[in-house]
Amino acid sequence: MNVAAAPTSWIGRAPVTRGAVAGVRTRTSARERRLARQVALGAGAALAIALLLVWIRLQVVHTGYELSTSRQLEHKLEQEQHELALEISTLTSPRRLEELARERLGMRPPAPGQVVSPP
Dist CA 88 CA 29 (whole Å): 87
Is residue 114 a part of any domain in this protein? no
DSSP 3-state percent helix, strand, coil across the chain (nearest 5): 65, 0, 35
Domain that holds residue 81: 29-103
On average, the pLDDT of the chain sits at: 86
Question: Vertex 17, ends 37 and 38: CA angle to 5°?
Answer: 10
Question: For residue 21, what pLDDT band results from cuts at 50, 70 and 90?
Answer: low
Instruction: Indicate whether 4 pLDDT > 70.
Output: no
The three-state DSSP-derived secondary structure of 25-64 is CCCCCHHHHHHHHHHHHHHHHHHHHHHHHHHHHHHHHHHH
Question: For residue 88, what pLDDT band results from cuts at 50, 70 and 90?
Answer: very high
Is residue 49 a part of any domain in this protein? yes
Is residue 84 a part of any domain in this protein? yes
Is residue 39 a part of any domain in this protein? yes
Return the closest-CA partner of residue 26 out of 13, 35, 17, 37.
17
Contacts of 20 (CB under 8 A, 6+ apart): 1, 2, 3
How does DSSP classify residue 104? T
Question: For residue 111, what pLDDT band results from cuts at 50, 70 and 90?
Answer: confident
| pLDDT of the residue at 113 | 82
Instruction: Indicate whether 65 pLDDT > 70.
Output: yes
Q: How many domains does the chain have?
A: 1
| pLDDT of the residue at 119 | 76
Is residue 110 a part of any domain in this protein? no
**Residue range 23-46: average pLDDT?**
90
**Residue range 60-70: average pLDDT?**
98
Share of the chain above pLDDT 90, in %: 64
| pLDDT of the residue at 43 | 98
Instruction: Indicate whether 60 pLDDT > 60.
Output: yes
Cα 60 from chain centroid?
5
